[in-house]
Structure 1
Amino acid sequence: MNTLLTIEERNAVLLSMANLVESRKEEILKANKIDLDSYSGDDLAMEDRLKVDASKIEGMIHSLKHLASQDDPVGVERFSFKHENGMQVYNKTASFGTVMIIYESRPDVTVEAAGIAFKSGNKILLKGGKESLNSNLVIVDLWHKALEENNVATGWVEYLQFDRTKTQEFLKNPDQRVDLIVPRGGERLIQFVKENSSAQVIVSGRGNNFVYVHDKADTDIAIDVILNGKTGKISACNAVDKVLIDSRLPNKEEFLQELLSKLAENNVRVIADRSLQDLDGVKPLENEDEWYQEFLDYKALIGEVDSVSEAIAKINKYSGGHSASIISMDDKAAQQFMETVDNAAVYHNASTRFTDGGQLGLGGELAISTDKLHQRGPIGLQHLVTNKWYIHGNGQIR
């Protein structure tokens, strides 16, 4: 759209949308049931993301209301100075223009990610997956009603009902302006977008997150962090897939027995590398490539390392650049780990499940970027902006 909506207009639309989601939740749930009944169920993580329940509806409403309460991210002065020739120079945040979100399975993205992009002053293009079509169409219809209620053009939110071929054509040669593309989904989707897009892409990469249990770990904390990361939500990109145990850990055998017992209680299958494959109840690692894989399943891989440096090297080699946690009472070891592990988020004695816009207090997220430009980690409202220079003079020429 050519004209930036005022912050009052944007907030009013978000509040209208929150009210509509609340009053029409049965319609959303009914459409989602059609999608769930039609889904093959081949992918446990995909099905988990597809499902909308009362809790997810409440999350959508909360996200919209919270967004409406936040300050305008556009037009914020980043810095200013007076040039030696008398010009006054400012740098301020600015909207991208048009943001396209391509995503699989998750109808909540149609609310929360679109809401963040809209609040940031952008026109929204939504390309959801066919598995969530019924849910998405109902939600987009609510967006249009929210816009109409506030005398705002419905073109600010547009749903692209494209198949794979048409999506590929649009990415290469869009028939309208696209300033930024955000793919939300698995590695195949992200690679497809990167290979075909003519616009800038924010990569929300694979998780494959690690927990390293240092030799000076509080093992109770370690158990809690690993279980929370592995079993809390297997479909989340911030879930734990790999656990590294320091060979010098006191009472290592007792710790491993307790860990394996707790994981088994939660139906988690455990694979172990060569140093640990004699443990009861584990399967031996058969393919080294599994160190690279994001499981999105009740499955974990455990291995042994001899030092902090070895743990760091292993994480930097195999992880997806997302999140990693060290469990240790040694602050110096934790500092080395956190400064050297090349991930978007690094933790000390805490769960990787906090790599999430809402959980970190950002009021939701558009995506979790594993790129280093322009923003790394959860992209909240204040991050979905570019910047612009404003220069005021009184006739200066070069």
Structure 2
Amino acid sequence: MNTLLTIEERNAVLLSMANLVEKEKDSILKANKVDLENYSGEDLAMEDRLKVDDSKIEGMVHSLKHLASQDDPVGVERFSFKHENGMQVYNKTASFGTVMIIYESRPDVTVEAAGIAFKSGNKILLKGGKESLNSNLKIVELWHKALEENNVSPNWVEYLQFDRKQTQEFLANPTQRVDLIVPRGGERLIKFVKENSSAQVIVSGRGNNFVYVHDKADTDIALDVILNGKTGKISACNAVDKVLIDSGLPNKEAFIKELLNTLSEHDVEIIGEGSLEDRDGVRSLESEDEWYEEFLDYKALIGEVGSVSEAIAKINKYSGGHSASIISKDDKAARQFMENVDNAAVYHNASTRFTDGGQLGLGGELAISTDKLHQRGPIGLQHLVTNKWYIHGNGQIR
């Protein structure tokens, strides 16, 4: 286990990395161009995640500088207690040790997630997707340069160039200590890691998010929220896939017509259930499985429900436990929805696209957890820590 670096050392490395990413922008874009040219383009969402452009580089630089400006998450006192025998007891945050991040085709994760893991005192093992290999290797080369510039060992950031079989073997029998594994990606990746890992796993990535248009909804807000959630970024885990419309909505027919037209204008394939089926440009539901599916595509499934309770039950049955939004002018209905929907983030009259560490005030995120332990929703710098007890005595025995 690496000896914990001082906060000054960690911040200096992050600022060096920010400067290098800025300085080496062209070489990162050049490496990414090779990855994009090698990619088949068969998966729109994958291609969107893979592509690095000027704004993504700016995001990487901003996230590193912001991380360097944040307080040290390690050694924060969470609890203190003076024992009757005079011992002084503290509980403080502590780093995990070694964090492994497994992710699909997102070079920005190689900067941002590694930055969060490093700032919180952890060694990082990066296992990126084969699609982004050239981009990732270039970024890791910069990490090593930033570490060496500050006389810090480059082994704090390690890239694992493994194929599927090697990854499986490493997960089951790691050749070095791994304290925590964070898989960021689709359900297949998460299932693979959970089945093969001998270490603790934080599950991240599955969306399948819902918007419920209540019978007291402002339909203009509903249209904006659905359109933003569905078409803003199809590759994001906070995108919207399902829309539930209350059968008691006063102007329901006019709203449905406008919603279908608006989604069609944005080339969204529309799947309908029940009363939504027999309409122009709407495909009927093929099977119940489509309610469970995270689309990661220009595709939306729309159905009707008779009440807030029915909407809650449907979301709790089919969603990925990520994000859900209610559009309503009724605060009581919104509270019932928000308290009872079993998702990491619940919204009232706002887009699910805000489930993001930067947008929710964390400055960035390692991942978005749909687990209930150890942290739910966006995992920011202050969450990528465990804790330990410090007890000071002068000879006390029990």
Pair in the same fold by TM > 0.5? yes
Tell me, in whole angstroms, the C-alpha distance in 2 between the residues paired with 1:85 and 1:199.
38
Tell me, in whole angstroms, the C-alpha distance in 2 between the residues paired with 1:232 and 1:286.
26
Aligned residue in 2 for 1:308: 308
Aligned residue in 2 for 1:297: 297
Aligned residue in 1 for 2:352: 352
Letter in 1 for 2:277: Q
Letter in 1 for 2:113: A
- Give 1:125 shift: 0.4
Tell me, in whole angstroms, the C-alpha distance in 2 between the residues paired with 1:267 and 1:118.
41
> Residue 359 of structure 2: SS of its match in structure 1?
coil
Matched, 1:16 2:50: no
Matched, 1:388 2:362: no
Tell me, in whole angstroms, the C-alpha distance in 2 between the residues paired with 1:156 and 1:228.
39
Summarize the alignment of residues 264-283 of structure 1 with structure 2, pairs less than 5 Å apart. 264-283=264-283
- Give 1:281 shift: 1.8
Task: For residues 55-103 of structure 1, give each alpha carbon's deviation from its aligned partner in whole angstroms, at most 9, with x where no partner exists.
Answer: 1000000000000000000000011011122211100000000000011
Paired residues, number: 398
- Give 1:275 shift: 2.0
Summarize the alignment of residues 113-124 of structure 1 with structure 2, pairs less than 5 Å apart. 113-124=113-124
Tell me, in whole angstroms, the C-alpha distance in 1 between the residues paired with 2:268 and 2:360.
27
Aligned residue in 1 for 2:27: 27
Tell me, in whole angstroms, the C-alpha distance in 2 between the residues paired with 1:133 and 1:218.
46
Percent of aligned pairs with the same amino acid? 89
Matched, 1:263 2:263: yes
Tell me, in whole angstroms, the C-alpha distance in 2 between the residues paired with 1:381 and 1:103.
18
Task: For residues 116-157 of structure 1, give each alpha carbon's deviation from its aligned partner in whole angstroms, at most 9, with x where no partner exists.
Answer: 000000000001111100000000000000000000000000
Aligned residue in 2 for 1:237: 237
- Give 1:285 shift: 1.0
Tell me, in whole angstroms, the C-alpha distance in 2 between the residues paired with 1:301 and 1:70.
41
Tell me, in whole angstroms, the C-alpha distance in 2 between the residues paired with 1:94 and 1:315.
36
- Give 1:2 shift: 2.8
> Residue 267 of structure 1: SS of its match in structure 2?
coil
Tell me, in whole angstroms, the C-alpha distance in 2 between the residues paired with 1:375 and 1:298.
30
Summarize the alignment of residues 1-398 of structure 1 with structure 2, pairs less than 5 Å apart. 1-398=1-398
- Give 1:279 shift: 2.4
Letter in 1 for 2:364: G
Task: For residues 8-35 of structure 1, give each alpha carbon's deviation from its aligned partner in whole angstroms, at most 9, with x where no partner exists.
Answer: 0000000000000000000000000000
Unaligned runs of 5+ in 1: none
Letter in 1 for 2:76: V
Deviating beyond 3 angstroms after TM superposition, the runs of 4 or more aligned structure 1 residues are: none
Letter in 2 for 1:6: T
> Residue 66 of structure 1: SS of its match in structure 2?
helix
Tell me, in whole angstroms, the C-alpha distance in 2 between the residues paired with 1:343 and 1:49.
24
Unaligned runs of 5+ in 2: none
Letter in 1 for 2:319: S
Deviates more, 1:279-288 or 1:29-38: 279-288
Q: Given the superposition, is the C-alpha separation of residues 20 and 205 from structure 1 closer, same or farther in structure 2, using an over 3 Å criterion? A: closer
Task: For residues 249-299 of structure 1, give each alpha carbon's deviation from its aligned partner in whole angstroms, at most 9, with x where no partner exists.
Answer: 011000011111111111111100022112222111121110000000000
Tell me, in whole angstroms, the C-alpha distance in 2 between the residues paired with 1:84 and 1:245.
60
- The question of whether the paired residues in 1 share the 8 Å contact of 2:241 and 2:299 is answered with yes
Letter in 2 for 1:167: T
RMSD: 0.7
- The question of whether the paired residues in 1 share the 8 Å contact of 2:273 and 2:284 is answered with yes
Tell me, in whole angstroms, the C-alpha distance in 2 between the residues paired with 1:189 and 1:18.
30
- Give 1:42 shift: 1.1
The TM-score, its normalising length taken from structure 1, stands at 0.99
Task: For residues 345-381 of structure 1, give each alpha carbon's deviation from its aligned partner in whole angstroms, at most 9, with x where no partner exists.
Answer: 0000000000001111211100000000000000000
Tell me, in whole angstroms, the C-alpha distance in 2 between the residues paired with 1:2 and 1:51.
33
- Give 1:226 shift: 0.3
Deviates more, 1:354-363 or 1:299-308: 354-363
- The question of whether the paired residues in 1 share the 8 Å contact of 2:14 and 2:67 is answered with yes
Tell me, in whole angstroms, the C-alpha distance in 2 between the residues paired with 1:137 and 1:375.
30
Letter in 2 for 1:199: A
